[in-house]
Structure 1
């Protein structure tokens, strides 16, 4: 099939909620273009990956909440086994996504924004594993996520670039939720927000619309984290 046909079928698979198929249709696109795919194609790939694992992440959170209810303690063994099964499927999907990014994109030359986008994505999927991992696996994915986020942060992009702001948002969340490092989470978010607001008047309408929601999320997180710290 042609690249155009694969992209079309990936969009069809998205509508049909066949996210495994969506990823498979996009693999030949990555083989052909690597990191030089368009921003629309990058976003399509991001949607495919995120939807592939979203139900498993939600399931893990749901089961964790049920486990904390005292009236279900007698089912703790069965619940634990079921959660472990879903977690392993989640880990497998995340590791597969990371492998696709590293082997089909990052080993090829790409411009700065695309590279930052995909290195950040590697950090994100290690972070998703870290949400439920324990022991040596947790320590390993924490180290790998930190390395990816730091590498992406070192790539020079404009302060109001959507990829740069999305990276700062996710990197700060990683510090807060995974590393339990509240001061650094706030520092990363505040620094990115201040730099972006200083340059925001330079954006055209399309540029502003791209970063508006990320800026709002940064503000919300900073406010919540500072409130938690005060309490």
Structure 2
């Protein structure tokens, strides 16, 4: 039923092939997927790869695990889930496009956070920013910490749909962030700019200024794209 796949991008490839089979009607609608062990054998991969692929489909609303029963296809009355090819997401041109998507979402997220954040939210945002600094100081790229920082701002909006959207996007934002942060780490001036841009977003949220927060978030995303172009990574 399934094709053997190469080692690279295993979980994404498995997820794509599973989705194709689901859309073709290979499995009964709202039916049960084969067990993890069976899928691992058919794809010729480890159970960990299968688990990650199923987790991706779960995040996209395609399947749902039921404790003690297995993994079932979700009936959505013909509504197709949004998908982004992970392998494409790390391509330079796609990184720029994802930055544009981030700009639209995170500008509004920052604005809402400025209006609705609590003292506890502000403390969480400050802590997340400090973790980026700590990671960079230790020589890490700070990718996970950067994603967590933006998620902390989304939490401060109090809007669960921002969180749901970012939960979906995080797997792709992280791919793009790897490219942007590694690029920024190559130059000290880039690293300083990123730190200042993050600080500007935080300051605007702390001040309760939604317009300034929106502008600071937009500036951060525009500058991230500009830095990629200056480094010759994206033209």
TM (norm. structure 1) is 0.27
The structure with the larger Rg is 2
Higher RCO (C-alpha under 8 Å, 6+ residues apart): 2
TM (norm. structure 2) is 0.27
